[in-house]
Structure 1
Amino acid sequence: MKKLLLLGAFALLGGAAQAQEGFRLGGHVGAPLGDASDAASVTIGVDAAYMWNITKGLDIGVTTGYSHFFGKDHVDDFGFIPIAASGKYKFAKIPLFVGLDLGAAISTKDYINSGLYIAPRVGYQMKRTELYLGFQNISSKYKNHDHYWFGDDKFNFGAVNFGVNFFLK
């Protein structure tokens, strides 16, 4: 009997939590910064997240996606796949929010190591859409002397991005 009651409580709480969760899908375009600006002319990407509403105005979740940097001056294109925790706070009474993604970015090229991923953003919240301006930075290590950068140094592959996300329920 206790197991049945416990199972029922988990089912009830699980249903309540599910009513506050949802997918966020979108894309971004940006201008490379830092070491990335030496080798790339523009970046585009796709974003996907699953968010849970923790309390009024605060959402926490997980995010992934893909950011592609288009190479310039005989540099190959390169990209990163972030896997991160995501947080967003929407201010009461005004349609503005701040957000932060923090985690790891997996490199799609073997001559660039994966690294720490951080992406703060500010934006405008609509009913099922958000527009944002964000900064994306991947702290990584370049590991091949035959390409654009020389030495086994640490690099910051960053970009200022403008993006749009759509909420799917």
Structure 2
Amino acid sequence: MKKLFLVAFLLGFAPIFAQETDIEDVELTPDNSWLKLGLTAGVPIGDANDASSFAFGADLRGQYLFNPNIAIGLASGYTHYFGKDNIDDFGVIPAAGFFRYYFTPDGLFLGVDLGYGFLANIDNNDGGLYVNPQIGYHNRDWNFYAYYQNTFAENELDIQNVGVGVTYNIRFN
């Protein structure tokens, strides 16, 4: 069922990316491409709340801006969940693609990461579908956002947290 939702979501965005663009015509410039490095902090919810009291993470993204409003890219990083009640710490390492819609050059944005979340320090569970919707504020150099992160892991285990994040844009030259 989860895979069906993922395919339906991706097909819903297919018309946005169905532009006829020759790859040789794409030029990466400081105005359309950059790395985003940042930090996140969140509160575990659901299954994760039973085992963890706080989540802290690093965020790494490579972004390409199609036009002033639409961006795609690759996202990774690490979210560390601090264990509670004699439960060991654990983590999620995402390997995801992302989509962002910027309403204006400076201001509100909506985004979502979709991919696979690899679990660290959890026995008998490699991970699962990773989803991370975001809403936030951006300018040329910074992004400030609120997010909900969920890894739909194997054995009906959902690793979730809600929190805030900040990233700094490092421009390609």
Q: TM-score, normalised by structure 2?
A: 0.80
Paired residue for 2:139, among 87, 101, 126? 126
Residue deviations 1:48-87, cap 9 Å, x none? 0101011221110001000000000010000010000011
Alignment of 1:41-60 (within 5 A): 41-60=53-72
Structure 1 residue 127 displacement after superposition: 2.2
Structure 2 spans left out of the alignment, 5+ residues: 1-21
Alignment of 1:1-169 (within 5 A): 13-14=25-26, 16-19=27-30, 20-92=32-104, 95-111=107-123, 112-141=125-154, 153-169=155-171
Structure 1 residue 18 displacement after superposition: 4.2
2-structure distance, mates of 1:110, 1:76? 9
Q: Secondary structure at the residue paired with 2:87?
A: coil
Q: TM-score, normalised by structure 1?
A: 0.82
Aligned residues: 148
Larger radius of gyration: 1
Aligned Cα root-mean-square deviation (Å): 1.7
Kindly provide the amino acid, as one letter, of the partner of residue 168 in structure 2: F
Q: Determine the structure 2 residue equivalent to 1:150.
A: none
Structure 1 spans left out of the alignment, 5+ residues: 1-8, 142-152
* Percent of aligned pairs sharing the same letter: 32
